Amino acid sequence: MRAWSVAVPGPVEAEGGLRLVEKPVPEPGDDELLVHVRACGVCRTDLHVAEGDLPVRRPGVTPGHEVVGVVAGRGAGAEGFEIGDRVGVAWLRRTDGTCAYCSRGDENLCPASRYTGWDADGGYAEYTTVPAAFAHRLPAALAHATATPLLCAGIIGYRALHRAALPPGGRLGLYGFGGSAHLCAQVALAEGATVHVLTRGAAARQLALDLGATSARDAYDMPPEPLDSAILFAPVGDLVPVALRALDRGGTLAVAGIHLSDIPSLRYETELFYEKQIRSVTSNTRGDAREFLALAARHGVHATTHTYPLSRADEALRDLKAGRFDGAAVLVNDLS
């Protein structure tokens, strides 16, 4: 089969770092499914893998962790899926299932966790594999390409919403409005929240209003009313005190990013007193994914997508880096 391989991590503008190569069709392990890839979303984490911002965990790895495909084979111990079933493959690939965190239901914190497209070959290829226990069923209403961004951006946004402890019908502030935030906003709105978006891009503010946000202002502005919950999607530590000041008494701020620039010192009186809380968000559990995918189907949550043939994945990553498109890039398998 043909597959993209991170031969030498480095700038994606340079030739040869990410190469389309021949690899054998992978053999599924005993508890794994072989998946014929139909579409694979392009996540910013793929860029970090291709450019070496994340350390190499598997030399020559095939990136891609927002995969929609069809089961084409299975190991003897792989349960729950039949040949021909449609499946989703996401970032979280394996946990040990036995550590203290897994045992109490926090598998997102498992120190032994493994990830698709980083520890194991992912979906920038004609075929990939996934442990059956970590494969996701996809609602029939979702088309292949439009379902892909839900598998990372969507699930993470949903986990952040959960961590922000939004009360029913509550007032939610979203700081930053990219892929994750615009999916999170759709769920919150469908569940009856009032949503205020605080972000610097004029196009993003317009998208927020089009989706049903009550207000859209600059990132450093105050929202028109105090917030019960806020989620910081922008990786900007300077916005932490800004968002904390926008919270009502007892409100919660969830920080959704993997990376955040340094947080300036906080003023206890205005930014933490009255039982305001700040929480981080780390990866997700399979439960988060199942809940989110069901909600997404029920509420018609959809991502704005920009498609590329799989054979031009390098171009998609260069365009992502340069900010040449709106919405989420999706690779559609044109190779088989």
Nearer residue to Zn ion within complex by CB, 48 or 312: 48
With beta carbons less than 8 A apart as the criterion, state whether 148 and 40 touch: yes
Nearer residue to Zn ion within complex by CB, 67 or 110: 110
Q: Determine the length of the chain.
A: 336
CA distances for 325 relative to 35, 301, 315, 330, angstroms: 29, 20, 12, 11
CA distances for 236 relative to 19, 196, 239, 254, angstroms: 33, 18, 6, 13
Torsion angles phi and psi, residue 30, rounded to 5: -55, -40
Min separation Cβ 17 and Zn ion, Å: 19
Nearer residue to Zn ion within complex by CB, 15 or 104: 104
Min separation Cβ 46 and Zn ion, Å: 7
Which residues neighbour 258 within 8 Å (Cβ) at sequence distance 6 or greater?
none
Min separation Cβ 94 and Zn ion, Å: 9
Nearer residue to Zn ion within complex by CB, 45 or 194: 45
Min separation Cβ 91 and Zn ion, Å: 5
CA distance 81 to 37: 16
Beta strands in the chain (DSSP E): 2-6, 18-22, 32-41, 67-74, 86-89, 92-94, 114-115, 127-131, 136-137, 171-175, 194-198, 215-217, 227-232, 247-255, 277-280, 305-309, 328-332
With beta carbons less than 8 A apart as the criterion, state whether 274 and 298 touch: no
With beta carbons less than 8 A apart as the criterion, state whether 204 and 177 touch: yes
Nearer residue to Zn ion within complex by CB, 102 or 120: 102
Tell me how many degrees the CA angle 37-281-185 measures, rounded to the nearest 5.
Answer: 70
CA distance 121 to 195: 38
Nearer residue to Zn ion within complex by CB, 252 or 284: 284
Torsion angles phi and psi, residue 158, rounded to 5: -70, -40
Min separation Cβ 65 and Zn ion, Å: 6
Min separation Cβ 101 and Zn ion, Å: 5
Min separation Cβ 224 and Zn ion, Å: 32
Nearer residue to Zn ion within complex by CB, 152 or 240: 152
Min separation Cβ 111 and Zn ion, Å: 7
* Beta bridge pairs of residue 308: 331
Nearer residue to Zn ion within complex by CB, 14 or 100: 100
Nearer residue to Zn ion within complex by CB, 93 or 205: 93
CA distance 234 to 139: 30
Torsion angles phi and psi, residue 155, rounded to 5: -65, -40
Min separation Cβ 113 and Zn ion, Å: 7
What is the contact surface with Zn ion in residues (CB under 5 A)? 43, 45, 95-96, 99, 102, 110, 152
